[in-house]
A and B are shown apart, each in its own frame.
Chain A
Amino acid sequence: MQDHRPTPEQMLARLQTEGDEDSAASRRGKLKIFFGYAAGVGKTYAMLKEAQRLKSEGRDVVVGYVEPHGRQETETLVEGLEHVPLRQINYRGAVLKEFNLDAALSRQPEIILVDELAHTNAPQSVHSKRWQDVEELLQAGIDVYSTCNVQHVESLNDVVAKISGVIVRETVPDDVFRRADELSIIDIAPEDLLARLKEGKVYVPAQAERALERFFRKENLFALRELALRRVTERVHADVETARHGRGGNDVWPTGETLLVCVGPSPSSASVVRSAKRLANAIQAELVAVHIENASTQQLSPEARNRLVNHLRLAERLGAETVTLAGDDLVTETLALARRKNVTKIVIGKSESPRRWFRKRASITDRLIQDSGEIDIYVIRGKADSDSVEGNDPRTQAASAFVGSRPLEWLGTIAILGLAISLAWLLDWLGASQANIVMAFLLGVVCVALKYRRVHAVFASMSAVLLFDIFFTTPYYTVVVDDAQYLVTFVVMISVGLIVTALTSRLRETLWQTQRNTRQTEALYQLGRKLSGINGQQFLAAEAERAISELFQVQAIILLPEDGVLRPVLHRDASFAANPSELAVARWAFKHETIAGRGTDTLTASQATYLPLLSPAGSMGVLAIQAEDVGPLFIPESRRVLEAYASQLALALERDRLAIEGQEAMSAVEREQIRNTLLASVSHDLRTPLAVISGASSSMLHANTRLDAATQRDLLETIHEESERLSRLVENLLRLTQLSYGSVEVKKDWFPVEELLGSALGRLEHFLATRDVQIEFDPSMLMTHCDSVLMEQVFINLLENACRYSPSGTAIEIRGRQKGKRTILEIADHGSGISEEDQERVFEKFQRGEQSITDSRGVGLGLAICKAVMDAHGGKISVSNAESGGAVFRLELVADAMPPTADETSDDTTDNKPIGDTPS
């Protein structure tokens, strides 16, 4: 018993998967597949029967799509079930009826029937395959019933093709089957099926004959049936295993084996991948597909590239984990990966690469077997898919590359050989030895090897030997040689040539690899470094757009959610991404955190490709890429870099968001603190005048007959003064609130300072009654560019402050001067001044000077407001002490333009005649 107890790690893993299941169970619907070995076995019929039964039980069953095939029985069964209206698509003149995913999602039934899981959707649909629609329905928590035939199972696809001779293009990934909650086999004897077929119950008669001939042969049906039954048995076995292991079970794949398959551009690779998948299924192993990028794969033709990409995607569809590695040596890299991933078996296709003219190394297969150690190697003869073979033979490609593709390189090779022979002649003429002449040719070969590809170098080596033989050995101008010694020279010459060639090309491959890696790393590093220094979504997006556009030669646009709506961050209107249908694709990619759009499986009709920007916190936005040809973007290497860029950007965006949230949290805390301090100190300052007012007025009310007229007047004056003070305080509070919330709009205009000061003095008339205010301006018409209401407030506060902190009756001096665009104003009092350490602090909120002479009241908001107003104007406020004592507040405002002069504004010079001269 002890042995079977799960380890803590296993328990933890199980807890996690259980947790996932629990939370997913509330969302994810269940998939039931009615599985048959051929059309006509009655899958749709069985599905509809089940649906009718469920409906009679009162369940919410609707028909999403049922292929009637014109069969009477199915049509009767469909009756009485609710249908989700089909989508009609006009495609090349024909009207196609398709399952309507959006309608189904908005209908949100409990169970939906969607026939023909393997169906390929019409272009312009959301997904290219119906099983993807089903996947989305399941994610939306809707149970789905669907049907499928054995020939549509991806990993069995080629086996079926072999049995029946019919290649089925519509396939469903194995993973969909593996994750189906229920697999219901619909089986009838092949004889009965053939009979039904003849009765016309399966296809409409015209189609039946053709189908009969090609597919419905008895032996075919037997084989397919066996295949289907085996598949279901495997599934049942897996279910039993899982159930048996139950608590303490390891995983869905109890053998814990991992199988690795090597994927290449060769057309046969697809069938190798499928075989590997079948093997993996049989031994219940996980499958890893690996592709090794190196210099030679980099030189692949576009078709071969596409094949490679397709093979990797096929592996993905089959549920394999795909890995692309960069490395010079396929064998070493593959084995290293295999050891990292605890691979037990490696599947490789028989090497079909063109035989090289010289091969120093053993074939890849041989070396794999040699170096694999404890890992099993399965060598499979891959069979090319019939559709991809045509014109894609690597040999013909190599040949075409040899002749046509790079004529310039051949010309260059010949030119170098020409130079070599000229040099040889020169040496010969100079009387140099034969050995030196050979050196001239070898020099030529080395040059070719350095400059061009291996094939050129090999050609150059051979030519060099031939030329040497013809022109420099006796008898001249024949290939025949007198001296057998020369044969040794030739052999050495060609050997040296080939060795040099091999060495240089390997060197170049390594160099290329390093360069490429360096370039990518460098580019990524640069982007990362730049992004980390940028704040703000807009700027991040702009930088990323620039970098990606530059590197991939595409138009890149970043879309980010703004108030929940995904939008292009920049070039809002001009871009393709502003198009509503494109936005819909972007939204899909964002929501499902999956790549979508052109070149993918989803929403392929769109103009651009959409990559979600994924960070640990989820989708941050979408990267839209538009290019003439999106093919190159899906080369594993490019895609990897692109994805790295996307995730760099996503991380940067997340960092930015977190920073902003942090700041907001900080300022929220600060605001809270300010509010608290404000409440505490304001309540005191509000209460004092209120107490005076209510006290004075109540005594008037209660005792007015007993109070003499002078006392009454005194009380009334107090009330009036206090209410004015209160009014100023409230005004300051309001202003400060507005300023600190940024809701004040600064409306700047030119004002004579005198006027602003005048209205401030006017409002403080009572307060300043005992003061002598001396004003001195230079020039006398001192203009300043500011917001009059705010600046008036500054003057009021400064004047009030000056009064409060200087003895009653002393003068207040106001000086002003202008220097170009700069206006400087000083308000000086004759109080005791401000201590140096206080000179900075007085402008902070709720600071009050040490000793107020006239009274101790005032919140100390006044100077904070002055500071806020000056800040809002881009001006400065400071305080210092005058030599004679007393504080000097200094305001400095800088205008955007030169102030208008008095002359300029007196524009009516023509009628500028003084009126006094012309008495009427």
Chain B
Amino acid sequence: MTENLSERRLIAVIEDEPPIRKFLRASLGAEGYRVSEADTVQSGLRMITQEPPDLIVLDLGLPDGDGKALIAEIRQWSTVPIIVVSAHDQEREKIAALDAGADDYLTKPFGIGELLARLRVAIRHHNKSSSGSETVSQIYHHGPVRIELDSRRVFLDNVEVRLTKKEFDLLALLARNAGRVMTHRNLLKEIWGPHSTHENHYLRVFVANLRKKLETEPARPKLIITEQGVGYRLAESEDFA
């Protein structure tokens, strides 16, 4: 039993609304996670220093302080994945939290399926980067789409799709971070370099072109998901989902 417990991952929930904590405790517990809870920034910080969790779910609207400051603080000494929870109309807040070092976000109200997917992706990416080895599969699968990262080839229904270099770079970047949100700024910086003067709409046009080439119904995308006001997210590879 004790052995079992230590194997189960610990999720720290920092959230001031008891009903949401209750729902998270129940749902995460059912999924085999251990949950530790705090309702303020202060107690949250204490809690995660006492027993470092495998992932933190952080509400941005805590009563006693700024969630973004807490993220920055944690990031000084830990790379533990952080998923922030915020209201729908707070795009700026979300971006700021992601810039401060959060790994992903969820918009209230959210379903448990969504949360579990985020947790899984965040923990996987964390493990990958902390193990330091690029042992991750070089193949990405989703529906009819297959991306071979090492050979730089993309297939739709087993037919190779021709992409420009930048289109591929963009797609590859999204694929390496599959399941995770990538902010506009992040993507622009990675593909066009840190001093790129391009506007966000360049990126959007690239994404639109990619969708035309890869999505069955470009207006109802299943592969490259728009996170309105924040960025893009590539659907999780089906090898993991």
Contact = CB atoms under 8 A, between A and B. Distances in A.
Interface of A: 720, 723, 727, 731, 734-735, 738, 749-752, 754-759, 761-762, 773, 775, 780-781, 783, 788-789, 792, 900, 902, 905-908, 911-917, 919-920
Contacts of A902: 205, 209
A750 B204 contact: yes
Contacts of A914: 162-164
B201 interface: yes
Contact of B109 (A723, A734, A754): A723
Given A750-B201, A789-B91, A919 B151 contact: yes
A758 B152 contact: no
A915 B228 contact: no
Nearest to A787: B229
B74 interface: no
Nearest to B162: A914
B53 interface: no
A915 B153 contact: yes
B120 interface: no
Interface residues of B, number: 37
A905 B153 contact: no
Nearest to A814: B219
Given A751-B201, A751-B204, 16 more contacts: A731-B88, A734-B89, A750-B199, A752-B204, A755-B204, A755-B207, A761-B220, A762-B221, A781-B208, A900-B201, A906-B166, A911-B165, A912-B165, A913-B164, A915-B153, A915-B164
B211 to A, nearest CB: 7
B153 A916 contact: yes
B225 A762 contact: yes
B219 A775 contact: yes
20 contacts: A751-B204, A758-B211, A758-B219, A761-B219, A781-B205, A783-B205, A789-B229, A792-B228, A900-B205, A902-B205, A905-B202, A905-B206, A908-B164, A913-B165, A914-B163, A915-B153, A915-B165, A915-B168, A917-B162, A919-B151
A762 B164 contact: no
Contacts of B220: 758, 761-762, 773
Nearest to A791: B228
A746 B209 CA distance: 27
B219 A754 contact: yes
A919 B219 CA distance: 30
A684 to B, nearest CB: 21
Interface string B173-195: 00000000000000000000000
Contacts of A908: 164-166
B47 interface: no
Q: Which 10 A-B pairs have the closest CB atoms?
A: A914-B162, A750-B201, A759-B226, A905-B205, A916-B162, A752-B208, A911-B165, A908-B166, A905-B202, A775-B219
A749 B152 contact: no
Contact of A755 (B109, B152, B164, B208): B208
Contacts of B129: none
A752 B205 contact: yes
Contacts, number: 105
B153 to A, nearest CB: 7
A723 B23 CA distance: 15
Nearest to B218: A754
Residue of A757, A775, A905, A915 ringed by the most chain B CB atoms within 10 A: A915
A735 B201 CA distance: 25
Interface of B: 88-89, 91, 109, 111, 151-154, 160-166, 168, 199-202, 204-209, 211-212, 218-221, 225-226, 228-229
B110 to A, nearest CB: 10
Contacts of A735: 89
Contact of A789 (B202, B209, B228): B228
Given A734-B89, A914-B163, A915-B164, A727 B109 contact: yes
- B interface: dominant SS: mixed
Contacts of A755: 204, 207-208, 226
A907 B163 CA distance: 14
Contacts of A920: 151-152
Given A758-B221, A915-B165, A749 B209 contact: no
Contact of B201 (A754, A775, A783): A783
A759 B228 contact: yes
B89 A731 contact: yes
Nearest to B206: A905
A455 to B, nearest CB: 80
Contacts of A781: 205, 208-209
Contacts of A757: 219
A513 to B, nearest CB: 69
- A interface: dominant SS: helix
B130 to A, nearest CB: 30
B219 A773 contact: yes
A392 to B, nearest CB: 76
B186 to A, nearest CB: 17
A919 B152 CA distance: 8
Nearest to A785: B201
A917 B165 CA distance: 11
A789 B227 CA distance: 10
Contacts of B228: 756, 759, 788-789, 792
A854 B168 CA distance: 45
A482 to B, nearest CB: 108
Given A755-B226, A915-B165, A906 B89 contact: no
B89 A754 contact: no
A797 B90 CA distance: 19
Nearest to A723: B109
Given A905-B202, A919-B153, A754 B165 contact: no
A73 to B, nearest CB: 71
A749 B109 contact: no
Contact of A758 (B154, B161, B205, B218): B218
A773 B201 CA distance: 25
A573 to B, nearest CB: 33
Contact of A911 (B166, B200, B221): B166
Nearest to A754: B219
A817 to B, nearest CB: 16
Contacts of B168: 915
Contacts of A738: 89
Residue of B204, B211, B212 ringed by the most chain A CB atoms within 10 A: B204
Contact of B202 (A758, A761, A907): A907
A919 B162 CA distance: 11
B202 to A, nearest CB: 5
Contacts of A912: 164-165
Given A750-B199, A915-B162, A762 B226 contact: yes
Nearest to B226: A759
Residue of B163, B206, B228 ringed by the most chain A CB atoms within 10 A: B228
A758 B223 CA distance: 12
Contacts of A775: 219
Contacts of B225: 762
A919 B155 CA distance: 13
Contacts of A900: 201-202, 205
B199 A788 contact: no
Nearest to A782: B208
A773 B205 CA distance: 22
Contacts of B162: 914-917
Contacts of A723: 109
A749 B201 contact: yes
A751 B89 CA distance: 19
A913 B152 CA distance: 13
Contacts of B226: 755, 758-759, 762
B97 to A, nearest CB: 17
Contact of B200 (A749, A762, A916, A919): A749
A907 B201 CA distance: 13
B89 A789 contact: yes
A158 B161 CA distance: 111
Contact of B164 (A749, A911, A919): A911
